Structure 1
Amino acid sequence: MTHYLISGNTRARGPFRPNDWAERLAGVVSIFVRERADASHVCAVSYAMPCVDGDVKCLRVAGALQEICPDAFRFVLQFADENDLPVRALDVSRSAGKS
Structure 2
Amino acid sequence: MSKTVQQLIIHGVTQDNRRFRPSDWAERLAGVMSQFRPAGSSAHRLTYSPYVFPTRLEDTPCVIVDERLRQLEPLAWKFVCDFAKDNHLQTSTRTLDGKS
Q: TM-score range by the shorter chain?
A: 0.7 to 0.9
Q: CA deviation at 1:85?
A: 0.5
Query: Which structure dedicates a bigger proportion of its chain to strand?
Result: 2
Distance apart, 1:39 and its partner CA: 5.7
CA distance in 1: counterparts of 2:96 and 2:39, whole angstroms: 26
TM-score norm. by structure 1 comes to: 0.82
Hey, what does 1:90 align to over in structure 2? 94
Question: More helix per residue: 1 or 2?
Answer: 1
Aligned residues: 91
Unmatched segments (≥5 aa) in structure 2:
none
| Structure 1 residue 25 corresponds to structure 2 residue 5 | no
Specify the alignment match of 1:7 in structure 2.
11
* Aligned twin of 1:48: 52
3-state DSSP of counterpart to 1:45: coil
TM-score computed with the length of structure 2 as normaliser: 0.81
Runs of 4 or more consecutive aligned structure 1 residues displaced over 2 Å after TM superposition? 38-44
User: 5+ residue gaps in structure 1?
Assistant: none
1:77 maps onto 2:81 in alignment: yes
Q: Which amino acid aligns with 1:16?
A: F
What is the distance in 1 between the residues matched to 2:40 and 2:32? 18
- How far off its partner does 1:41 sit? 4.5
Greater Cα shift, 66-75 or 38-47 = 38-47
Q: Tell me the SS of whatever aligns to 1:88.
A: strand
Root-mean-square deviation over aligned CA pairs? 1.9
Q: What percentage of residue pairs aligned between the two structures are identical?
A: 35
